[in-house]
């Protein structure tokens, strides 16, 4: 034979000899086998890996590593190994010259080995040049080489000890040197090299240790241990987290997906796709249950060819597929190894039965079992790691792409997805993909496992034991068949359980995929519809020729044939009635509308002040600078010009004060001025102002016009377009555009328009008398787009309670030192002393609790399920597992039944009992699954209702302090966890607990000696688990907390998207979003690695249990029956998986129960007073007269702040009309807050018709007073629902109120009349119209006391006049309190209250106060009324 002649000269040495290797007490390989196979295995491995690895290194360059001592040592050893191998070769040549002929092997072996060692040395250097710090390929090579050499080494020693054997001294010596060098190489390989030059980690303050970790450390996840230790010693904080790896960061991940999607989308767009936007809600009268379809989906009409839809799946696959494919290989290797267990078990049982077999075989099988289990562990967790990292990148990419898309979609598309829905895409749908990534391989892996298991079962026990023993009397059930089958059944159980989960996960993901695809396919704004050129002298700064605009491609045009030219540096006013298209015109110039035809040029950069100020949750200074360079002197000038100095004085931390979400702690006027300052600061060539003066007092308005907008203001050389209702500034304009019904009806200077003597001149004459009084008044311009159904995403969903609550203490409370002079020498003085500055922060970031989750949280959850259900489920679990243990023990007794005449007796009894136990198991499983699922639904309903109830009962201050992101997070993510994550975790946790206990009992029964091993291993387990949970729980909390800012920032962006686009700040916002997502993933990444860390540690403990169970079985093989050995080992094989699950589930349970903790947290917040109190409820007719008395009344916003109102003593008689006036921040709105008990009195009391309002329920009070708020609030729903939420009025009443509110014509022109759908926040009505809806709502309620909070700020003069007359006639017998800045509206009131710094300074009839020449007189003078 060929190989034998290769091994020896005379071909007498056999290649393989069973008697030498297997059937012996002292096994060994033949010389020939040692000299060929054992030498070639490592060589073949390295040469096979080399081409692939070489190419991989070529294209993955991580930087150059400098030569280190470690590297020098490795290289030197590699060269010495080569010399040692070739020394053997030359020795063989020398022997030839001495006429000693050796077998061909002695020449070939050393040659091949030497060349392989050279290759290894080359790779060591090549890896260094390419920046590999620790190499897995080389590590495995040295390990294989050493293993093979060890076998040879043992054989050589055995041979040498054999007396009388001749020894080849030279080759023995070289081999010993070779062996020692291999050992040293392997040890050196365990240490990592230093990081490459110029790598990112060098300048990173807290780099992730993963890259610089050695190969061993990476496969066992040892590198995270430092963080685990830290987390065990003290709760982790955000600053302890490592930076993300470069390839996981947003700026690496997102552009890839965005690029691929753009390509795919462009391809699909070539074939036209019809998208139809379905209306917000389809009212279905036929539905008795009033089921209204909530989600507004873009309906895609089936295109003719299927191929035209852009496939998001294809894009995701393209982007993340290559990295993810690695997981396929790992998974396949793991699945194959999994079946090694039962096969080795078969051999082990055969060994126990065969008393003649030599002992070492038993130990050999035990070792083999252990090695297989360990390999399986390492491979499985590499697989999981890849899956989780892919999932994480998927989420990052999807969130990033959604954010980028939200900045470019058109307004009509924006309307189809409410803010809530878009946030949902980010939170829930992105999460679905993350979850799917870990499961998707089960799609092929599960069937593969099932098929393999069935094939192996077929060889053993036909299908199951029952069929097997009944088919044929001679089929006896012996231990080998029974327990190998049982082990295979256990393997089968997992894929069969997983498949339904995977399928449901895939279904969910495909729904999410479709939603994402629809969102990402929305039409985008056409960046080229407006030509934005650099400044040149030609034509004018803004040129519009024959332009027609609409809000979306399919809408009728809103602005028709617009023609005008604005020369550079001129000041243009746009005037017209409510809803005539003024704001739309500005939107059109910004490119926010769809241009149907015509030509529009806007030269230079643009600044924009929207009608509703958009304020970010950032410091005041950041809001003004808005990402530009800080320029001290310019900043100072802007602040002074915009009249912000006094406000900055009042704010707790000066201009470093944090402004709450949507500017909750600023008054309407302050928000508007901040918005204005932002536009002025950015120094743009063109400024578009959408009615910024309506929200400020008269004197401030005058100041702003003179210092900013007017001919002498800061912006005098810029091109300015001002939408306004204030007539008194019109004479100073260069040009006035008069709009009506979406067209420019007149155009020219003030004088020209008067000469033309058309509608505008008529209008001016009518209001000439009111002209002076028309100075801008401080009302929070309620908002939106006075125009048609749009809203440049500005006002969205104000918290309902915000109605009257605009100034938070901090803006209204005057600090004690307002006596300071108003002039500052530097901005440094704008900032209050540091101590004060940091002590005050408005919004509370989500905070993470620390320490163990308290037992009460679990108890709360059990109570939410119901205690009966909780204990019932525990009882059913017990039943199931007792039945399971009993049936397997019964099986082992059955297999030990003696075989007489080739058959077993009692087969029927055995089978009957076994069957009965099986059926009872089934019933118990069904029972507890049902009970836990139903219980979970009960619990989440209970917790959700509780949370909702509590949040709605929270005082207003809670909504101001709490960013919307936190609320969204609680209601979406945390409740989703309680809904869908906790019940299955509880099921698995209970299951694994009982399984582990059961397995330990069985192993102890079979081999009592195991009692020595199990408790210590149990302790190790407990320790590792406690150690892990401390860190993992805190990471989960940090991850939850860092998720809120992502949502808050996203919400904010959606609200201010038109401002961001106008200022061209998209890049900066995208960067901010990326940063926030990375911050969130920074906490998520260590948590997945910690999970792997734990699993690897635990499975090793489990593998030790397998090792000892098998070892004790081998040691006691003479005393044990095969049945017990089978039972014990098959249980121990499962115990690894169960223990692993147990710890994962207990930690999952603890990390997920945090959701319950966070939901409960809001339940324990302070609440408002009771809604209704039986004992003190006033009569149903109260208040009959409407008399209000303030007695020594005082109010403060928070315990730690000064009084905002103090010492108010006023009596208002029924039916009086009272005007309340005062500068911004004087406490006007605070008075109304006190009346509604939005804030409780700090001192004194308010009495209405003899009832102390503090003593009755809130509903009883609030139901009887009506307010028309400063910010009109509408809810999404029909117009009728908004006017009459409690369905108390007839249609006639409603139409009558609309007529009185001057809305009748508008509403009758709507196709759906009263059923017209109001968009979220009423965006599809202009601001003025919304204000009128609020008036109509007040008219319908007809209460005795009416409060008007600057309610007519956003309407033009005509409408304002009409409203005032309506109020006079309709509320004649009522007590009316009006907060006003337009003083002319209250000149005919009974009395006027003048507030200043929270005190009543004057009170009396307007005529009387004017004669007094006091504060009221000076205000009237500012307004030009005197």
Query: Residues 347, 349, 354, 355: what is their CA dihedral angle, to the nearest 10 degrees?
Result: 120
CA distance 1346 to 1338: 8
Which residue, among 579, 587, 789, 725, has the nearest Cα to 1329 in the 3D structure? 579
Burial readout 934-944 (b: 16 or more C-beta within 10 A, e: otherwise): ebbeebbebbe
Position 276 scores a pLDDT of: 54
Task: Using pLDDT thresholds of 50, 70 and 90, give the confidence band for residue 1032.
Answer: confident
Q: Which residue has the higher pLDDT, 608 or 456?
A: 608
Q: Which two tokens stand for residue 665?
A: 């702690």
CA distance 795 to 902: 87
CA distance 127 to 1088: 29
Phi-psi region of 691 (alpha: psi -120 to 50; beta: other; left: phi over 0): left
Position 386 scores a pLDDT of: 92
Mean pLDDT in residue range 1364-1388: 81
* Residue 581 near residue 745, CB atoms below 8 Å: no
Q: Judge whether residue 470 has pLDDT over 70.
A: no
Task: Using pLDDT thresholds of 50, 70 and 90, give the confidence band for residue 490.
Answer: confident
Place of tokens 């121990």: 1132
Q: Which residue has the higher pLDDT, 995 or 487?
A: 995
Longest Cα–Cα distance of the chain, Å, equals: 138
- pLDDT (tens digit, 9 = 90+) per residue, 1182-1239? 888 888 888 888 888 777 777 888 888 888 888 888 888 887 777 887 888 888 888 8
Most confident by average pLDDT, 250-264, 756-770, 1011-1025, 1345-1359: 250-264
Position 47 scores a pLDDT of: 94
Angle at 1310 between CA 1305 and CA 1312, to 5 degrees: 130
Tell me, yes or no, if the pTM score tops 0.85: no
Burial readout 1366-1387 (b: 16 or more C-beta within 10 A, e: otherwise): bbeebbeebbbbbbbbbbbbbb
- How many other C-beta atoms lie within 10 A of the C-beta of residue 403? 25
- pLDDT (tens digit, 9 = 90+) per residue, 499-549? 887 888 888 888 888 989 988 888 888 888 888 877 666 677 888 988 999
> What does the radius of gyration of the chain's CA atoms come to, in whole angstroms?
41
- pLDDT (tens digit, 9 = 90+) per residue, 1126-1182? 778 777 777 777 777 777 787 778 778 888 888 888 877 778 888 888 888 888 888
Position 146 scores a pLDDT of: 95
Place of tokens 């009212």: 283
CA distance 1223 to 1332: 25
Position 1411 scores a pLDDT of: 87
Residues 6+ apart with CB under 8 A from 1239: 955, 956, 957, 1195, 1196, 1197, 1230, 1233
Task: Using pLDDT thresholds of 50, 70 and 90, give the confidence band for residue 414.
Answer: confident
Position 1400 scores a pLDDT of: 87
Position 1054 scores a pLDDT of: 86
The per-residue pLDDT of the chain, averaged, comes to 81
Task: Using pLDDT thresholds of 50, 70 and 90, give the confidence band for residue 851.
Answer: low
Task: Using pLDDT thresholds of 50, 70 and 90, give the confidence band for residue 330.
Answer: very high
Position 115 scores a pLDDT of: 94
Position 468 scores a pLDDT of: 59
Q: Which residue has the higher pLDDT, 894 or 564?
A: 564
Most confident by average pLDDT, 97-101, 215-219, 1298-1302, 1379-1383: 215-219
Which residue, among 988, 869, 888, has the nearest Cα to 936 in the 3D structure? 869
Q: Judge whether residue 99 has pLDDT over 90.
A: no
- How many other C-beta atoms lie within 10 A of the C-beta of residue 411? 23
* Residue 300 backbone phi and psi in degrees, to 5: -100, 115
- Enter the DSSP assignment of 1325: S
Which residue, among 754, 672, 708, has the nearest Cα to 571 in the 3D structure? 708
- Enter the DSSP assignment of 692: G
- pLDDT (tens digit, 9 = 90+) per residue, 674-714? 999 999 998 888 999 988 887 777 778 888 888 898 888 88
Task: Using pLDDT thresholds of 50, 70 and 90, give the confidence band for residue 368.
Answer: very high
Which residue, among 446, 451, 454, 438, has the nearest Cα to 498 in the 3D structure? 446
- How many other C-beta atoms lie within 10 A of the C-beta of residue 456? 18
The distance of Cα 630 from the centroid of its chain, to the nearest Å, equals 32
Which residue, among 1129, 851, 1054, has the nearest Cα to 232 in the 3D structure? 851
Task: Using pLDDT thresholds of 50, 70 and 90, give the confidence band for residue 281.
Answer: very low
Task: Using pLDDT thresholds of 50, 70 and 90, give the confidence band for residue 272.
Answer: low
Which residue, among 555, 262, 559, 552, has the nearest Cα to 410 in the 3D structure? 552
Sign of CA dihedral 1052, 1056, 1060, 1063: negative
């Amino acid at each position: 034979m060929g190989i034998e002649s290769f091994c020896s000269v005379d071909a007498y040495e056999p290649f393989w000899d069973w008697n030498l290797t297997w059937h012996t007490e002292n096994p060994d390989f033949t010389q020939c086998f040692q000299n060929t196979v054992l030498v070639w295995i490592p060589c073949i491995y390295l040469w096979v890996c080399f081409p692939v690895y070489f190419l991989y290194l070529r294209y993955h360059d991580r930087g150059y590593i400098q030569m280190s001592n470690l590297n020098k040592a490795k290289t030197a050893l590699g060269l010495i190994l080569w010399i040692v191998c070739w020394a053997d070769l030359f020795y063989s040549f020398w022997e030839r010259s001495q006429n000693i002929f050796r077998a061909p092997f002695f020449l070939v072996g050393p040659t091949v080995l030497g060349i392989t060692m050279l290759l290894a040395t080359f790779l060591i250097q090549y890896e260094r040049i390419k920046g590999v710090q620790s190499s897995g390929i080389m590590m495995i090579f040295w390990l294989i080489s050493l293993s093979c050499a060890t076998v040879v080494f043992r054989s050589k020693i055995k041979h040498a000890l054999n007396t009388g054997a001749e020894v080849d001294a030279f080759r023995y010596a070289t081999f010993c040197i070779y062996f020692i060098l291999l050992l040293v190489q392997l040890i050196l390989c365990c240490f990592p090299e230093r990081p490459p030059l110029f790598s990112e980690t060098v300048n990173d303050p807290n780099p992730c240790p993963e890259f610089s970790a050695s190969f061993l450390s990476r496969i066992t996840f040892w590198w995270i241990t430092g963080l685990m230790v830290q987390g065990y010693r003290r709760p982790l904080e955000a600053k302890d987290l490592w930076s993300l790896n470069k390839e996981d960061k947003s700026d690496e991940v997102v552009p890839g997906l965005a690029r691929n999607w753009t390509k795919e989308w462009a391809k699909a767009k070539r074939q036209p796709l019809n998208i139809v936007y379905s209306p917000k809600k389809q009212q279905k009268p036929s539905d008795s249950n009033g089921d209204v379809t909530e989600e507004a989906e873009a309906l895609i009409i089936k295109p003719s060819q299927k191929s035209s839809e852009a496939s998001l799946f294809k894009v995701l696959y393209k982007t993340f597929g290559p990295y993810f494919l690695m997981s396929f290989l790992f998974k396949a290797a793991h699945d194959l190894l999994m079946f090694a267990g039962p096969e080795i078990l078969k051999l082990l049982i055969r060994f126990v039965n065969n008393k003649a077999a030599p002992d070492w075989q038993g130990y050999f099988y035990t070792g083999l079992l252990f090695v297989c289990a360990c390999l399986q562990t390492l491979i499985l967790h590499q697989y999981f790691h890849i899956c989780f990292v892919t999932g994480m990148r998927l989420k990052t990419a999807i969130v990033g792409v959604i954010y980028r898309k939200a900045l470019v979609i058109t307004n009509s598309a924006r309307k189809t997805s409410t803010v809530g829905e878009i946030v949902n895409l980010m939170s829930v749908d992105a999460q679905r993909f993350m979850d799917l990534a870990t499961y998707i391989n089960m799609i092929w892996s599960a069937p593969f496992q099932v098929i393999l298991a069935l094939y192996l079962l077929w060889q053993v026990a036909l299908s199951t034991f029952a069929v097997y023993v009944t088919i044929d009397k001679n089929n006896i059930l012996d231990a080998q068949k029974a327990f190998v089958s049982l082990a295979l059944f256990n393997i089968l159980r997992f894929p069969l359980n997983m498949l339904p989960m995977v399928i449901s996960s895939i279904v969910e993901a495909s729904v999410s995929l479709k939603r994402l695809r629809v969102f990402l396919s929305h039409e985008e704004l056409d960046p080229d519809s407006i030509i934005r050129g650099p400044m040149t002298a030609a034509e004018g700064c803004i040129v519009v020729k024959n332009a027609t605009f609409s809000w979306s491609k399919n809408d009728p045009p809103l602005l028709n044939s617009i023609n005008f030219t604005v020369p550079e540096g001129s000041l243009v006013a746009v005037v017209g009635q409510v809803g005539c298209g003024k704001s739309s015109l500005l939107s059109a110039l910004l490119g926010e509308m769809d241009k149907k035809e015509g030509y529009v040029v806007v030269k230079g950069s643009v600044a924009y002040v929207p009608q509703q100020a958009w304020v970010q949750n950032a410091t005041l200074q950041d809001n003004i600078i808005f990402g530009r360079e800080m320029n001290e002197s310019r900043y100072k000038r802007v602040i002074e010009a915009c009249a912000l100095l006094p406000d900055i004085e009042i704010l707790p931390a000066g201009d470093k004060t944090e402004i709450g979400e949507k500017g909750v702690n600023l008054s309407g006027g302050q928000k508007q001025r901040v918005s204005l300052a932002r536009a002025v600061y950015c120094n743009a060539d063109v400024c578009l102002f959408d009615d910024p003066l309506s929200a400020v007092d008269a004197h401030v308005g005058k100041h702003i016009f003179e210092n900013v907008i007017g001919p002498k203001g800061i912006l005098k050389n810029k091109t300015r377009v001002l939408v306004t209702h204030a007539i008194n500034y019109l004479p100073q304009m260069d040009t006035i555009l008069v709009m009506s019904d979406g067209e420019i009806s007149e155009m020219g200077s003030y004088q020209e328009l008067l000469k033309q003597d058309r509608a505008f001149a008529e209008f001016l004459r009518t209001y000439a008398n009111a002209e002076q009084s028309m100075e801008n008044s401080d009302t929070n311009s309620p908002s939106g787009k006075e125009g048609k159904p749009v809203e440049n995403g500005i006002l969205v969903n104000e918290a309902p309670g915000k109605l009257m609550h605009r100034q938070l203490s901090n803006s209204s409370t005057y600090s004690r030192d307002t006596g300071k002079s108003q002039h500052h020498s530097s901005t440094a003085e704008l900032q209050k002393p540091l101590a004060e500055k940091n002590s005050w922060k408005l919004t509370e970031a989500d905070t993470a609790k620390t320490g163990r989750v308290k037992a009460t949280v679990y108890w709360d959850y059990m109570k939410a399920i119901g205690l009966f259900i909780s204990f019932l489920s525990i009882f059913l679990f017990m039943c199931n597992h007792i039945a399971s243990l009993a049936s397997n023990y019964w099986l082992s007794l059955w297999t030990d039944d003696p075989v007489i005449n080739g058959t077993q007796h009692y087969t029927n009894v055995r089978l009957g009992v076994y069957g009965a136990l099986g059926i009872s198991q089934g019933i118990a499983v069904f029972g507890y699954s049902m009970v836990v699922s139903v219980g979970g639904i009960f619990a989440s309903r209970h917790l959700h209702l509780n949370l909702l109830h509590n949040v709605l009962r929270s005082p207003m201050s809670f909504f101001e302090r709490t960013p919307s992101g936190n609320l969204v997070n609680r209601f979406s993510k945390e409740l989703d966890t309680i809904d869908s994550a906790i019940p299955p975790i509880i099921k698995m946790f209970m299951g694994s607990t009982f399984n582990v206990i059961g397995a330990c009992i069985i192993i102890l029964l079979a081999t009592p000696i195991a009692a020595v091993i199990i408790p210590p291993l149990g302790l190790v387990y407990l320790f590792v688990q406690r150690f892990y949970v401390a860190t993992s729980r805190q990471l989960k909390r940090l991850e939850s907390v860092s998720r809120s800012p992502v949502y808050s920032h996203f919400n904010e962006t959606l609200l201010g998207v038109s401002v961001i686009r106008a200022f061209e700040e998209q890049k900066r916002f995208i960067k901010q979003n990326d940063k926030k997502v990375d911050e969130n993933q920074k906490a998520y990444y260590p948590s997945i690695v910690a999970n792997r860390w734990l699993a690897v540690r635990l499975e090793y403990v489990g593998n030790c249990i397998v090792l000892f169970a098998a070892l004790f079985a081998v040691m006691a093989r003479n005393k044990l029956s095969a049945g017990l050995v089978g039972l014990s080992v098959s249980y121990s094989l499962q115990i690894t998986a169960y223990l692993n699950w147990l710890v994962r589930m207990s930690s999952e349970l603890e990390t997920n129960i945090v959701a319950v903790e966070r939901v409960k947290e809001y339940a324990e917040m302070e609440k408002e007073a009771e809604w209704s109190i039986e004992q003190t409820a006033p009569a149903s007719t109260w208040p009959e007269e409407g008399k209000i008395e303030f007695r020594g009344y005082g109010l403060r916003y928070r315990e730690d702040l000064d009084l905002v109102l103090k010492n108010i003593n006023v009596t208002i008689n029924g039916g009086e009309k009272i005007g309340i006036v005062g500068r911004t921040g004087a406490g006007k709105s605070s008075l109304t807050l006190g009346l509604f008990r939005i804030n409780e009195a700090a001192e004194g009391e308010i009495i209405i018709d003899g009832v102390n309002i503090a003593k009755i329920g809130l509903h009883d009070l609030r139901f009887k007073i009506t307010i028309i708020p400063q910010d009109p609030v509408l809810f999404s729903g029909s117009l009728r629902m908004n006017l009459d939420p409690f369905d108390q009025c007839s249609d006639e009443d409603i139409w009558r109120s609309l007529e009185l509110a001057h809305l009748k014509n508008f509403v009758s022109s709507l196709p759906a009349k009263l059923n017209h759908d109001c968009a979220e926040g009423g965006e599809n009505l202009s601001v003025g119209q919304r204000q009128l809806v609020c008036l109509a709502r007040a008219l319908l309620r007809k209460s005795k006391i009416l409060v008007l909070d600057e309610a007519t700020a956003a309407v033009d003069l005509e409408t304002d006049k009409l409203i005032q007359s309506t109020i006079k006639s309709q509320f004649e017998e009522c007590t009316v309190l009006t907060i006003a800045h337009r003083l002319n509206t209250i000149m005919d009131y009974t009395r006027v209250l003048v507030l200043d710094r929270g005190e009543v300074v004057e009170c009396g009839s307007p005529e009387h106060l004017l004669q007094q020449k006091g504060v009221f007189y000076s205000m009237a003078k500012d307004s030009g009324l005197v």
